[in-house]
A = this chain, B = another copy of it.
Amino acid sequence: MYGLIGSFKAAPGRRDELVALLLAGTGDMPGCRSYVVAQDPAEPDTVWITEVWDDAASHQASLQLPAVRAAIAQAKPLIASFGEHRVLEVVGGHGLCGESHEAPQGGGDSPRDSR
């Protein structure tokens, strides 16, 4: 599975608006096993997103979905800067939609930075 961990800073005072946009866009994304939006209590403008996808291709395809494209267009002006960005190979765990627990995943995808 393909994993992403990213953080970014919202424009001052726009974090909640940005978070709401990100959450509204997470409904129907084929191949998305987990998409979690979090705030950092220590850095009030910072937003973290962790994602798990079947593979890099399913993540890439999601960026073409009309709802996602619209959310990205709306979110862009609310983002002041990007922080952490990790592309990972997810091995397993708990809370991965469409998968039984702890089943290690074959994979074969090639992680790509698609920001």
A contact face: mostly helix, strand, loop, or mixed: strand
Interface centre among A19, A32, A41, A86, by most chain B C-beta atoms within 10 angstroms, is A86
Are B95 and A52 in contact (CB-based, < 8 A)?
Answer: yes
> Which residue of chain B is the closest to A100 with respect to CB atoms?
B115
Contact A88 B48, CB 8 Å, known A5-B5, A93-B23, A97-B95: yes
Contact A23 B89, CB 8 Å, known A3-B36, A5-B50, A50-B5: no
Contact with B along A1-38 (1 / 0, CB 8 A): 00101000000000000010001101101001111111
**Does any Cβ of B come within 8 Å of A63's Cβ?**
no
Name the interface residues of A90-114: CB closer than 8 Å to any CB of B. 90-97, 100-102, 104, 111, 113
Are A41 and B91 in contact (CB-based, < 8 A)?
Answer: no
Ranked 4 nearest A-B pairs via Cβ: A34-B95, A38-B88, A36-B93, A35-B94
Chain A interface residues toward B at CB < 8 A: 3, 5, 19, 23-24, 26-27, 29, 32-42, 48, 50, 52, 84, 86-97, 100-102, 104, 111, 113, 115
